[in-house]
Amino acid sequence: MIYLDYAATTPMSERAIEVYTKVARSYFANSQSLHDEGTSAAQLLEIARQTVANEINGDPSGVYFTSGGTESNILAINGLVKKHKSGHLITAKAEHSSILNTFQQLEREGFDVTYLGYDDKGRIQIDKLIESLREDTLLVSIAHGNSEIGTRQPIEEIGAELAKRRILFHTDAVQTFGKVPIDVKSMNLTALSVSSHKLHGPKGVGACYIAPAESWHPSLPGTVHEKGFRPGTVDVPGIFAFTAAVEEATTNMDATVAYCNELRDVFLSECGGTNVVIEGGNDALSHIVGIRLKGIEGQYVMNELNQKGIAVSTGSACSIGQQSPSKTLKAMGRSDDEARELVRISFGKHTTKEEIVRTKALINGILSRFHRHHPNHVE
């Protein structure tokens, strides 16, 4: 199998597996327990907290470990917003479902929400965002990197504008953490969500950062774990394996980005000609390529490649018998038919150039067969 779905999840690194196994054997105690074994586990947890904080230029007291990006998004937004009974919130139309579902729930609870679209490259327009701000705007949540086409948002510019107005700012950095530098201070971020399994760590682990100067509302009063941020015994082995993966990713970040850019160039070179549309522009994340094969549904392309042993994604959830339009492309103004054409190719450090060349050849073959059978298709 040629695996080209790294934006969905990544295989655990050997180092992360090794660390998980060692910590699970030697530091299995509950970090809240008051005996020596519990204290040892708690000390390890604080080392992990410092590691994550170092990578985002944050304070370790603002790092809370969670079950992943989804929970981090939900807890961060609710925690910051529910200090208030009402107010105005802003997000984008193509955020992760955990964010959109949370904002929709907050609407039902009486908050007003503005959902921003994108320009034709998938970027938030700063002027549109500024126009949407109100005196009662409490919080803005914009993802750092888009999971379908890899577009990077102008987080520093947005953060600067929001800081002037003292508006809270959250970003979902699940696709960017460990892949591009992140500085919560220079970006003026109030809160940040990250996940372990996107950078070769274990699943079921993530982290949320909330600036220590900012108060938050607990999801469940009386909770003791993670200073009351979330209930449930903390997964010390998983968290320490996560931080091992973080250290690997950040240490090798420049080399990995350069290698993924090489893979990207190989893939895009002579891929489909005018019958392939590259979505997201030139500033997209190096490891994500969002393409459209004109006139062909992405689900069909995905199934054809899967039969040849190649795993890619449509970039959106599929219902039985019909692919849902990409919410990112819809937010960019594409038609439903165009938005159903999206195919996401995402790669990583284990991907080879030979795998990319084979995938490109198969995609070109799909295009050739389609246009042979549909000679009257208009580009």
Question: Residue 91: beta bridge partners?
Answer: 115, 141
Q: Where are the beta strands (DSSP E) in 185-287?
A: 191-195, 206-210, 276-279
User: What is the spatial distance between Cα 233 and Cα 223, in angstroms, rounded to a whole number?
Assistant: 11
Q: What is the DSSP string of 248-310?
A: HHHHTHHHHHHHHHHHHHHHHTTSSGGGEEEES-TTS-TTEEEEEETTS-HHHHHHHHHHTTE
Q: How far is CA 359 from the centre of its chain?
A: 24
Q: Which residues, other chains included, contact 117 with Cβ-Cβ below 8 Å and sequence gap of 6+?
A: 92, 93, 128, 331, 332, 333
Distances (CA, A) of 119 to 49, 124, 174, 214, 280: 37, 7, 22, 32, 10
Q: How many residues are given for the chain?
A: 379
Read off the tokens for 288: 């994500």
Annotated catalytic residue: which of 208, 260, 271, 318?
318
Specify whether the CB–CB gap between 341 and 367 falls below 8 A.
Answer: no
Instruction: Verify whether residue 260 is a known catalytic residue.
Output: no
Question: Count of CB atoms within 10 A of residue 356's CB?
Answer: 24
Question: Count of CB atoms within 10 A of residue 181's CB?
Answer: 12
DSSP 347: -
DSSP 162: H
Point out the residues that are catalytic: 318
